[in-house]
Amino acid sequence: MRARRISVRPELVEGLFFLRKGTGLQEGLGFDRLSPNGVRVLTDLTDLTVAEIRNGFRGGDFSAREVAEAFNANVTAAKALNAFIVETPEKALEAADAADKAKAAGDSLGALAGVPIGMKDLFCTQGVQTTAASHMLEGFVPTYESTVSGKLWAAGAGMLGKLNLDQFAMGSSNETSYYGNVISPWRRAKKDGGRGDNAALAPGGSSGGSSSAIAARLCPAATGTDTGGSIRQPAAFTGISGIKPTYGRCSRWGIVAFASSLDQAGPMARTVRDNAILLEVMSGFDPKDSTSLDLAVPQWEAHLSSDLKGKTVGIPREYRPDGLNAEISAMWDRGIEWLKDAGAEVVEVSLPHTKYALPTYYIIAPAEASSNLARYDGVRYGQRDLPDGAGLQDMYAATRAAGFGPEVKRRIMIGTYVLSAGFYDAYYTQAQKVRALIARDFELAFEKCDLLLTPTAPSASFALGEKQADPLAMYLNDVFTVPASLAGLPAMAVPGGLDAAGLPIGLQVIGKALDEQTVLNASLAIEERAGFTARPDKWW
């Protein structure tokens, strides 16, 4: 089902900005706009972007509580998507009431006052269960707040709930969660005159709960984390945008760790502007995180511009391998033309060590995961499995066997192997050397250009279960996103269009370290020219 809209003759609603409850029209319909022909169009509040909610609330078009109630209702009605592990409608209403009270009193409002969001269940939230989608942490209720989530709440945002993900952020399809698969709201459409199908599709991973919830209008925006593409790939699969900032822009404190030298928090939303708004709030120095960058946070939203005159876009030749999906290749070509239309020059560049990026990543990330996940031993918190008569080592083994899922165990074993005596230098040390070469490739490329344009993923979304039996096929989903992660560079996914099956496909913009502004501006240029307005038909 498409967005619910009602056209009303202007004389019937003159002076009205929104419909209150009890008017006889569906609750949640409330934002009043003028169409090009002068007809007022009443739009579901949950169709609004973060910027529209922020501005509409401040302008008195609706209350923050009305917005929170509308999104809470959508969350409650969308159990079939399994996007949320924990729903927190009371938290969303609490923040909304505080925003309404502050507005009525004439107090200053936070940047996100009146805006409810979803929180990936990798961020520790004080007093609310945080599981990393694993049985290992089931029932764990933090007594502290992650730095990023704390910044969002301080800015006035409300929490609709904790979003599902791949277990410990390890996965590309959201099929490894202990709490069940997240389902994409998209369905394959009719293809070549034939029939579509109702196969449940992957929303991407690991931030699949975030991407599914945003695409289905369960929240206007959400947090994500990106270790090797876990913001960008799910954004591409569900037709939304998401940015991984420069490593160190957002604090990692209070985020359940996967691979510490790669993990980075970032926003996900339907528009580039919304991502800029959230990223400004999420970023900033944190003395509790030794990798946090002690730099001022730029005003990314204020400096958004789709004018790319004077900018040069690099097209990496290694990102167009033999056998690249024809629709992905065609979308890439359209993206190049869009950036030319925005005033940019285009040059071909080379990133010769790209072919080593995936094997490098799948040595470094599991090695760091093996170290980080050693803390889950059944002693301090989370799952504990203690067989009768068991000793300490038996408890460790039983707890980890019961608490970790198959993919997490696979990566722990890989990581432990490459760090073991006799293999450390052959694998881990060599991988770190190759990582330096990959970063150097980007440095040399950026001597010729200001940003890079690539596909985000090698295909559109696939059916759940389609690649689960073959881990290597699943890992290939990260082929275009991993290099920027290894180099710590800002990168953004933005939707470009639909494939022949009616599924979203996206483009990726990669920028120089600390140059999120150019990444956002180029993404805005693509967004404006792509004119992507497609949304999934409601079936859930």
Task: List the catalytic residues.
Answer: 120, 206, 230
- Beta carbons of 264 and 253 less than 8 angstroms apart: no
- Beta carbons of 166 and 194 less than 8 angstroms apart: no
Instruction: Measure the CA dihedral 106/111/116/121, to 10°.
Output: -140
Closest CA to 408 of 84, 83, 120, 131: 131
Which residues are paired to 494 by β-bridges? 507
Residues 6+ apart with CB under 8 A from 105: none
Tokens of 8: 């009303």
Closest CA to 42 of 16, 74, 75: 16
Rounded to 5 degrees, φ, ψ at 224 are -140, 170
**What b/e sequence results for 459-475 when a residue is b if at least 16 CB atoms lie within 10 Å of its CB, and e otherwise?**
bbbbebebbbeebeebb
- For 463, which DSSP code? B
Q: Residue 432's CB: how many other CB atoms inside 10 A? A: 14
Cα–chain-centroid distance for residue 498?
Answer: 19
Closest CA to 236 of 465, 539, 512, 461: 461
Distance from C-alpha of 335 to C-alpha of 454, rounded to nearest angstrom: 9
Closest CA to 100 of 136, 66, 64: 64
Tokens of 486: 């290894």
- Structure-token match 């005033």, residue found: 343
Tokens of 211: 């991407």
Determine the longest span between alpha carbons in the chain, in angstroms: 81
DSSP of 292-338, one letter per residue? ----PPP-TTTT-----TT-EEEEEGGGS-TT--HHHHHHHHHHHHH
Distance from C-alpha of 261 to C-alpha of 221, rounded to nearest angstrom: 26
- Beta carbons of 488 and 248 less than 8 angstroms apart: yes
Residues 6+ apart with CB under 8 A from 495: 235, 236, 239, 240, 241, 504, 505, 506, 507, 527, 530, 532
Rounded to 5 degrees, φ, ψ at 54 are -55, -50
Alpha-carbon distances, residue 305 vs 302, 370, 525, 526 (angstroms) = 9, 43, 8, 11
Residue 160, SS3 per DSSP: strand
